[in-house]
Amino acid sequence: MVEEEKDDLIIDYASENEITNQYIQALKDAINNKAIIKIFDNLLTIATEDGASDIHIEPFEGTCRIRIRIDGILIVLVYYPQHIHDNIIAKFKIESGQMRPDEKRLPQDARVSTTTLTGKDLDLRANTIPTVRWEKLVMRLVDKSKDTPPLSVLGIEWLNQEIINRNINYPNGIVVVTWPTGSGKTTTLYASLDILNVAEVNITTYEDPVEKKMRGLNQSQVRADIWFTFASGLRAALRQDPDIIMVWEIRDFETLQTAMEAAMTWHLVFSTVHTNSAAETVTRVINLWAKPYMVTGTFNVIVAQRLGRKMRDDCKMEVNVKEKYAERYESARQSILSMKPDALQREMRMRKITGKMIERFMEDGIAMWPDPSKWMLAFKWRVWLYEMLEFDDEVRQMLLEWEKALAVEKYAMENKGMINLERDAVFKMIQWKISIEEVYRLVKHKTYK
């Protein structure tokens, strides 16, 4: 049944957490009673308890729906009657204190701190946009009660682990983490800073927003409305006697230039750039008018990452992906075969991948697959996928000679054993941590020769 035909309250979502199910029933009661504040209280509690990262409140003809994003996938929580939708949006605007309830023609933003019914502190980043029907509201949730996991448990394995540990411990340079929103960049940055966070080191950060308050860090919230930007914050940081600086995002040449100047004056700088891969980040910073000699003289490493859905052990089954997904299977197979034998052997040994494990996939095409009878329960938590482009002498020389970023990536993969996102994902697929369908939902096929 399509959304436009639903005109009654329908809740199909059920949680494995019985406490969450109690709040789902309370949400149903609140919608029936048009208790708008209770709708938000229960909705935020449900989403937080089940680990959702975003809430979407969407209008359609005759009905509206609420979806929550769990482990990267949007799941419908509830359909509800359209006639209360305007009240829900208006009430949120009023409670936020940062949106105009009477303005329905323009997008609006708000940042709100609140507490769930289970006592967890949340930061919300909310945005409304006008649609062809009514306004849509999206809220990004940041659960402040969660601790930052250590870098060692984020799935950064052997060669990538060596690269990140080496580069975050250099006295100066730039470490960039890249990938789209919701891919775990924040966690990787905070986990890296946590390693370096000792009394002898002065760490200053400029964030938008400050997602996690960490003891020992000097954290600042930038405010573009009063001209407190990343670039101006960076300039101020250099007068704060810093050892390490984190600037949340490099968006423009001024911020990039200031970050490179800071790195050249013996500071270690962490930042993010929104691109799709490590190689594309090189292209991006050069397109921001950075000179190649400045990039090669300041950048240490570019880290790209993705979050995939992890398969539950009790929901796995074997499947022949050679027959089921021939093109994906061949791409995955070639990503491994294109590695030099010594690099492949080292990576297998350190990841504890046996010859039998890799033979079952490479020769027989056997991989794991969600049990169809348990599909709704098959995925729980996330698998971290990483690639790292390290700026060693050869890479720096290629960039100084104006080699294209893709040529640099190809060189690193062929000669340095670079583990790109596809290789990292395929290794984790062979370890039965992730399915081949999930791998190619997240990464692109590469052409290997």
With contact defined as beta carbons under 8 Å apart, do 118 and 45 qualify?
Answer: yes
Bridge partner residues of 66 (DSSP): 57, 78
pLDDT tens sequence across 330-385? 999 999 999 999 999 999 999 999 988 999 899 888 887 776 666 666 677 788 99
Residue 447 above 80 pLDDT?
A: no
Domain boundary among 114, 143, 172: 143
Say which residue, 428 or 368, is predicted with more confidence.
Answer: 428
Q: What does R_g of the chain's alpha carbons equal in angstroms?
A: 24
- How many domains does the chain divide into? 2
Residue 1 above 50 pLDDT?
A: no
167 and 298 assigned to the same domain: yes
160 and 130 assigned to the same domain: no
Q: Is the peptide bond before 209 cis (omega within 30 degrees of 0)?
A: yes
How does residue 448 score in pLDDT terms, banded at 50, 70 and 90?
low
In whole angstroms, give the CA distance from residue 68 to residue 368.
27
With contact defined as beta carbons under 8 Å apart, do 406 and 299 qualify?
Answer: no
129 and 193 assigned to the same domain: no
Cβ neighbours, 10 Å, residue 237:
24
Residue 297 lies in a domain: yes
The per-residue pLDDT for 62 is 79
Query: CATH number, domain at 121?
Result: 3.30.450.90
Residue 85 lies in a domain: yes
Mean pLDDT of the chain: 88
157 and 235 assigned to the same domain: yes
Residue 442 lies in a domain: no
Q: Residue 403: which domain range?
A: 151-309+380-418
Of these ranges, 207-211, 243-247, 273-277, 305-309, the one predicted with the greatest mean pLDDT is 243-247
pTM, entire model: 0.85
pLDDT tens sequence across 125-155? 899 999 988 899 999 998 887 778 888 888 8
Q: Phi, psi at residue 379, to the nearest 5°?
A: -110, 135
In whole angstroms, give the CA distance from residue 128 to residue 135.
6
End-to-end CA distance of the chain, in Å?
A: 47
